[in-house]
């Protein structure tokens, strides 16, 4: 077999695994076909596979009662908006190529090829509903594992380690009152909801830790609705408040409570605190070595969004990073695509990491 033929065969299966995942459109709540594909495909590749009660794909390799365990937590679901699968000039286009089927496929391929340490159990979870507020898949496994190492499958770039994310507080205010006249001087339900939004913006400004986006709190209007039957009126506003590390959560909550109008009701839909992991330790050390060995100059990042890392890393309290191929600026966009060269580079980085965790 020639060298070129060997290279083609080496890359064929991982890329076909990724293509197979991308062909199965799986927005949050509709992940079944993608999960079933993973379970069948990885069982053929020698993994122990199952689908748990939440609908997560679970694949395992290594000694069943090995003293050490590494969990890779990726997610199978995507945001809505199907993108036809196509390849052009080394780029693979499809919904989830970056966020986050690319990282999931890279890890599964890497762990299949790796010569694992004899005492290391590898567990790969393809979680459901990461893109939904429920984070159903991650919450389901929260009490099932206490791993020694955690890799969260999110696009960081093949030569970059993400060590944390801002938090996200989802809040919803509903204002209900008798219908008002525009000239009465009584603020409408919609006006009061908008004033609450302005108060949230002012409260976020007080949480500023620095000039970087990741050092600031931000407020995004996720939804705004008004209703009226001519007698009663209502307004509902939902805000996503991103919070930096070391922010004053109590002060932020107090400011929100103080801004609730007399006829309003505030609901905290979800509150994910920010998480920042360490840039040191055995897991980071193996990643740095692996990236350098693959010809890269390792970098660190802290992301402005959130991920399942915010849920599991604080609970598991083990060395944790987020890692995966892809440009995260393409997340959720109609032009989502991944470089196959980067995908394969990240696969090699992950293989070296797994083999190096002695």
Active site residue 77: yes
Choice among 31, 60, 77, 159 that is catalytic: 77
DSSP collapsed to 3 states, the chain: CCHHHHHHHHHHHHHHHHHHHHHCCCECCCCHHHHHHHHHHHHHCCCEEEECCCCCEEEEECCCCCCEEEEEEEECCECCCCCCCEEECCEEECCCCCCCHHHHHHHHHHHHHCCCCCCEEEEEEEECCCCCCCCHHHHHHCCCCCCCEEEEECCCCCCEEEEEECEEEEEEEEEEEECCCCCCCCCCHHHHHHHHHHHHHHHHHCCCCCCCHHHCCEEEEEEEEEEECCCEEEEEEEEEEEECCCCCHHHHHHHHHHCCCCCEEEEEEEEECCEECCCCCHHHHHHHHHHHHCCCCCEEEEECCCCCHHHHHHHHCCCEEEECCCCHHHCCCCCCEEEHHHHHHHHHHHHHHHHHCC
Active site residue 16: no
Choice among 31, 60, 99, 130 that is catalytic: 130
Residue numbers annotated as active site: 77, 130
């Amino acid at each position: 077999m020639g060298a070129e033929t060997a290279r083609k065969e080496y890359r064929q299966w991982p890329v076909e695994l990724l293509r197979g995942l991308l062909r199965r459109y799986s927005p949050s709540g509709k992940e079944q076909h993608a999960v079933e594909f993973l379970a069948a495909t990885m069982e053929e590749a020698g993994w122990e596979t199952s689908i748990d009660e939440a609908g997560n794909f679970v694949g395992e390799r290594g000694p069943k009662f090995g003293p050490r365990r590494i969990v890779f937590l990726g997610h199978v679901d995507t945001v809505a908006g199907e993108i036809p699968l196509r390849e052009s000039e080394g780029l693979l286009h499809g919904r989830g190529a970056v966020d986050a089927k690319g990282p999931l496929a890279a890890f599964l391929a890497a762990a299949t090829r790796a010569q694992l340490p004899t005492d290391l159990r590898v567990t790969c979870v393809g979680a459901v509903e990461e893109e939904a507020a429920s984070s159903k898949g991650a919450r389901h496994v929260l009490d099932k594992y206490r791993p020694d190492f955690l890799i969260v499958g999110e696009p960081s770039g093949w030569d970059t380690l993400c060590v944390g994310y801002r938090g996200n507080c989802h809040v919803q205010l509903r204002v209900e009152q008798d219908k008002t006249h525009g000239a009465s001087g009584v603020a409408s339900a919609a006006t009061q909801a908008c004033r609450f939004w302005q108060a949230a913006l002012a409260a976020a400004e007080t949480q500023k830790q620095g000039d970087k986006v990741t050092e600031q709190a931000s407020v995004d209007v996720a939804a705004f609705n008004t209703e009226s039957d001519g007698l009663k009126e209502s307004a509902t506003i939902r805000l996503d408040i991103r919070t930096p590390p070391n922010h004053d959560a109590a002060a932020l909550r107090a400011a929100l409570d103080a801004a609730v109008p007399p006829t309003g009701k505030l609901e905290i839909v979800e509150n994910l605190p920010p998480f920042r992991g360490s840039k040191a330790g055995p897991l980071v050390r193996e990643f740095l070595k692996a990236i350098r060995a693959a010809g890269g100059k390792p970098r660190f990042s802290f992301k402005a969004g959130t991920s399942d890392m915010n849920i599991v890393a604080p609970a598991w309290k083990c060395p944790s990073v987020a890692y995966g191929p892809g440009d995260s600026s393409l997340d959720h966009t109609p032009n989502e695509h991944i470089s196959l060269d980067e995908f394969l580079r990240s696969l090699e980085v992950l293989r070296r990491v797994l083999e190096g965790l002695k």
